[in-house]
Chains A and B, each alone.
Chain A
């Protein structure tokens, strides 16, 4: 790839290293594997007495959350702190945006605080991409979830969870169950599983909760839960996103649970050593039975721990890619 390639993907620098993390779409398997490997090393750091490394000392990370979040926001904060960065978190939904400030104006104000990295969560698809396009050079942008589009760090922490429990992706059957239509997690997971070489990706949902042309992700579609769960190694349950339902998609929560809720009995259709995942927050008795969520096959809380390591990996790699690009630009400037 030549440094001047104008069609270079926005999230990579001229050497093909990560500089923003906006979506899993278009990232090569090697890069995803590098993220997982780096996260493995950060997991080890999380097990020490001092859980902190000096990589991002002197850097400022700004978490900008235009949408509510607890798990994602706190694990991003913790990840940045464990990298020794200074962290500020802005819940914009409760501040200037409600007073009518535009996204770009908010961004310019934050840039003026000399932030080196933005972690952005926004209700509109493409918001993080928009910010990455307009941010000053050398500032990294990490997507913490945008609309229905992508939640790439959740996708990667799910991949780390699968790899740590199941090893290689090349023999696995993975089922993603529930509200696929509204789920950015499902999109990120389908892309990541495909890129990492998972041969059998299944989505299980009622027709009203499936996006149009979902088959384009290279997945098999099931509308019957029992049929779809048969012999899978991994079950990824999704939260029923009641707040995104304009109505009319489901008869009732009870009906949904009766047909698509993961109960202990239904889990027996999967392989005996299958793991159960969920991005949280879980709706007990809506998409998953408590006995399953708290059961021996559940790795839902491990996912939270792995999320910190993944976010540390992505943040340090993006900062590293920005540094490398700055040096490349300097060299190019000297040669001209």
Chain B
């Protein structure tokens, strides 16, 4: 399978996002990336848009729904939102959308900070494997993986995708 190149996806994502925000009359949204890949994509996207906004970062480890199966992530980083999200339009950014569970956790976490005016979801890749009613508003590319395949974003510079096949016994 040929994997898309993040550098080629970014310009279209930036243009789509700009258009979408304009259509809804959103002028100054706040940008939030989800650790780690989502933060890298957010940084690249801000650069592409020519913006110097302070970027919020979320680590959703404390909000995941698989704590009793997978436990706590060993490298939890503090979330940091350098702005108030109350009544604010937000752009939430992640690298890969698969089941939608990370985004569910991120939305839960965001609402513990306040009540945003809106959340626009940007994902670089959508893997067509949704388990929850969560869809990206802006997407770089959509592709489907075979069973046992996983995709990972490597970064922060340069960004590239890596395909892995899970070893099963």
Contacts and interface: CB of A to CB of B under 8 A. Distances in A.
A317 B62 contact: no
A41 B59 contact: yes
Interface stretch (A32-40, A106-114, A141-149, A223-231): A32-40
Given A41-B59, A41-B79, A55-B62, A50 B112 contact: yes
Interface in B97-115: 108-109, 112-114
A317 B75 contact: no
B68 A41 contact: no
B161 interface: no
A324 B77 CA distance: 21
Contacts of B78: 40-41, 43-44
Given A48-B113, A49-B113, A38 B76 contact: yes
Contact of B112 (A17, A40, A42, A52): A52
Contacts of A40: 78
B143 interface: no
Interface in B42-89: 59, 61-63, 67-69, 71-72, 74-80
A38 B72 contact: yes
Contacts of A104: none
A316 B114 contact: no
A34 B74 CA distance: 7
Contacts of A214: none
A48 B79 CA distance: 10
Interface in A143-173: none
Interface in B110-146: 112-114
A320 interface: yes
A45 B112 CA distance: 9
Given A40-B78, A316-B72, A317-B72, A45 B62 contact: yes
B76 A41 contact: yes
Contacts of A34: 74
Contacts of B59: 41
B142 to A, nearest CB: 31
Contact of B79 (A44, A54, A320): A44
Contact of A41 (B67, B69, B77, B108): B77
A53 interface: yes
A310 to B, nearest CB: 14
Nearest to A17: B71
Contacts of B114: 49
Given A41-B59, A50-B112, A52-B112, A321 B71 contact: yes
A317 B61 CA distance: 12
A40 B76 CA distance: 9
Contacts of B68: 323
B80 A49 contact: no
Contacts of A136: none
Contacts of A44: 78-80
A257 B155 CA distance: 58
B79 A323 contact: no
B112 A48 contact: yes
Contact of A327 (B69, B77, B112): B69
Nearest to B61: A41
Contacts of B112: 48-50, 52-53
Interface in B15-54: none
Interface string A198-226: 00000000000000000000000000000
A49 B59 CA distance: 17
Contacts of A317: 72
A50 to B, nearest CB: 4
A53 B64 CA distance: 10
A314 B72 CA distance: 11
Interface of A: 17, 34, 37-38, 40-45, 48-50, 52-55, 316-317, 320-321, 323-324, 327
Q: Which 3 A-B pairs have the closest CB atoms?
A: A320-B71, A53-B62, A50-B112
Given A54-B63, A320-B72, 16 more contacts: A38-B76, A41-B59, A41-B76, A44-B79, A48-B113, A49-B114, A50-B112, A50-B113, A53-B62, A53-B112, A54-B108, A55-B62, A316-B62, A321-B71, A323-B67, A323-B69
